[in-house]
Amino acid sequence: MRFLFLASLIGLVSPICAQDDEEPPAQPTPTPAPGPIIIDTFANVTVYQPDDVNAQVTYARTENMPNNTILSVWTDVKANNTISIYQSKDNGFSWYAFGTVTSDVAGRRLVQPHLLYVNGTFGEYEGGTVLLAVNAIDDRSTNIELYASGDSGESFEFVSRIVSGGPPNTTNGATPVWEPFLLVQNNKLTVYYSDQLDTKYAQKLSHRTTTDDFDNWATALDDVTSQFYSDRPGTATVAKLPNGKYILTFELGLFNNLTNKYTYPVYYKIASSPEAFANERTRKLTVDTGGQPSGSPFVTWSPLGGANGTIIMSASNSNSVFVNQALGEGAWREVKTPAGRAYSREVRIPDNDTTKLRFAGGAESGKDTPSQILVTIMDLEKALKAFG
């Protein structure tokens, strides 16, 4: 977690006034699809735009559901103890309010959400469950919490408080927790989070797992720590690769003692188990053209691009995505996209058409202008073919 985004979460940053003459983003009408598994491309469809121009929306997350449905959720700076779930039944082209999640503890705001659909049975939960991990914050604490829905995301119940920390405060030496990310594999649920509880590190990445239910969490284990106290690894996301390994991408907050500021280049690790990143080496994500992606990366994997498929990483400072077709070895290549950059922009592969890439994002990193949650579908196959 970085100071700027904390400031907006707790209302320290005063927003800039709206401009009345701004054109709404273009929403091209999709052409009819030639077959059921080809989905249309489009750019900048609005999922949600707050009435209040001062209400910053950011940190969008989506989830692929059965029956060609997608859910979406985001951080709304002005929402109090409830956040909204929106639904799309046309591959993300149109959206409507569907569900709500209310904090288990009155007065806590639910921010930094992550959705995960668990198919089948998990513990006492049967027939498919939508999980929502959030950071529930007030001025005394931060809490990584799990909520569950048995009705496809319409209503949620509180399930578990996975880890609690001190007040939301990004200063080194404070003790909050941030930015949960959920992964399910082999009947095991893992939550990764940014962790300021350990006095040895300004911040580190940790995870906890549960196997027999959604609320029986094993002891927290490290994923990323640094030998330098002031380093701040944050914003973990994880994707499974076709060789059975897992990639963890993160921003690595590095303190520059000349400028007195942090920079947030993207780094990653690769491990054979999603719980065994701790001892793997930390690799800097380098791009063949020399650019340096930075800030709140999000990683996913597509089966396109040969036996290794393609690892796709989005970072906050670029409209482009960065791809790797060698299972994370070597340099990454930049691919231009029609989507705008956004703080913690999500990239996902649609369930029914793996030739496409879906983006979801809200406010841009470092910007505090009126914002909306936008979804874009791009033709990934075409973009990758352009490489030859």
Binding site for ligand NAG (CB under 6 A): 25-26, 36-37, 43-44, 66-68, 78-80, 119-120, 128, 152, 169, 171, 173-174, 257, 306-308, 325-327, 329, 338, 340, 351-352
Secondary structure letter of residue 367 according to DSSP: -
| Cβ 361 to ligand NAG shortest distance, Å | 8
Closest CA to 250 of 289, 194, 211, 176: 194
Q: By C-beta, is 37 or 218 nearer to ligand NAG?
A: 37
Q: Closer to ligand NAG at the Cβ: 68 or 94?
A: 68
Q: Which residue sits closest to ligand NAG, CB atoms considered? A: 340
Q: Residue 328 Cβ, how far from ligand NAG at the closest point, in Å? A: 7
Q: How many residues does the chain have?
A: 388
Nearer residue to ligand NAG within complex by CB, 182 or 207: 182
- Min CB(326)–ligand NAG separation in Å: 4
- Up-side HSE of residue 257: CA atoms within 13 Å toward CB? 3
- Residue whose CB is less far from ligand NAG, 56 or 207: 56
Q: CB of 341: closest distance to ligand NAG in angstroms? A: 7
Q: Which is nearer to ligand NAG, 207 or 357 (CB)?
A: 357
Nearest-CA neighbor of 228 among 282, 150, 164?
282
Separation between Cα atoms, residue 80 and residue 102, nearest integer Å: 9
Those residues whose C-beta lies under 8 Å from the C-beta of residue 90, and which sit 6 or more positions away, are none
Instruction: Say how many C-beta atoms besides its own lie within 10 A of residue 373's C-beta.
Output: 28
Q: Is 334 helix (H, G, I), strand (E, B) or coil?
A: strand
From 26, 114, 101, 44, select the one nearest 72 (Cα to Cα). 114
- Amino acid code (one letter) for 81: N
Question: Between 128 and 291, whose beta carbon lies closer to ligand NAG?
Answer: 128
Q: Is 196 exposed, middle or buried (0-12, 13-18, 19+ CB in 10 A)?
A: buried
Minimum Å gap between C-beta 217 and ligand NAG is 25
Closer residue to ligand NAG in complex, CB, 19/219: 19
Please tell me whether residue 383 adopts helix, strand or coil conformation: helix
The least CB distance from residue 162 to ligand NAG, in Å, is: 22
- Nearest approach in angstroms of CB 111 to ligand NAG is 14
Instruction: Select 218 or 330, whichever has its Cβ closest to ligand NAG.
Output: 330
Strand order in the sheet with 298-302: 298-302, 310-314, 321-324, 333-335
Q: How far is the CB of 251 from ligand NAG (least distance, A)?
A: 18
- C-alpha 85/C-alpha 130 separation (Å) is 11
